[in-house]
Copies of this chain bind each other. A is one copy, B any other.
Amino acid sequence: MSTEATQELVEQWRALQCAYLKTSNALDRELSSRHGIGLNEFETLDLLAEHRAEGCRMKDLTLVSPMTQSALSKIVDRLEKAGYVQRAACAEDRRSLYVELTEAGAHLHDEAAGTHRELLEANLPA
């Protein structure tokens, strides 16, 4: 590979990095200050809201989230402690747990989604 092509690759990577960090930092800061939850918490709520109809087990979450199983377990812990989510037993497989939005969780999601979308529009490269 030529030196110029390599240089271009590095610049492309730095641009990606910059766009991602700028956006995720802005999201995290605003979601925290306005709604009291971090970005990963919000995005988990968002996934739960999206799949609310089918029902969502921990395992399903790991399939659609970029987070680790372990991280998701702790995120759901925090959301549960805050009352935004609850775990429910799964009749077909007693190892599994359903994760469900509570009233408060659905309400918070509605509010925070506005902030989220607004910041995406402000930060994402057009």
Contact = CB atoms under 8 A, between A and B. Distances in A.
Interface residues of A, number: 19
Number of copies of this chain that the complex holds: 2
A118 to B, nearest CB: 9
Contacts of A21: 66
A124 B20 contact: no
A124 B9 contact: yes
A16 B16 CA distance: 8
Given A17-B20, A66-B18, A6 B124 contact: no
Given A1-B121, A6-B117, A16 B13 contact: no
Contacts of A66: 17-18, 21
Contacts of A17: 20, 24, 66
25 contacts: A1-B117, A1-B121, A6-B117, A9-B117, A9-B120, A9-B121, A9-B124, A10-B117, A10-B120, A12-B120, A12-B124, A13-B23, A13-B120, A13-B124, A16-B16, A16-B19, A16-B20, A16-B23, A16-B124, A17-B20, A17-B24, A17-B66, A18-B66, A20-B20, A21-B66
Interface of A: 1, 6, 9-10, 12-13, 16-21, 23-24, 66, 117, 120-121, 124
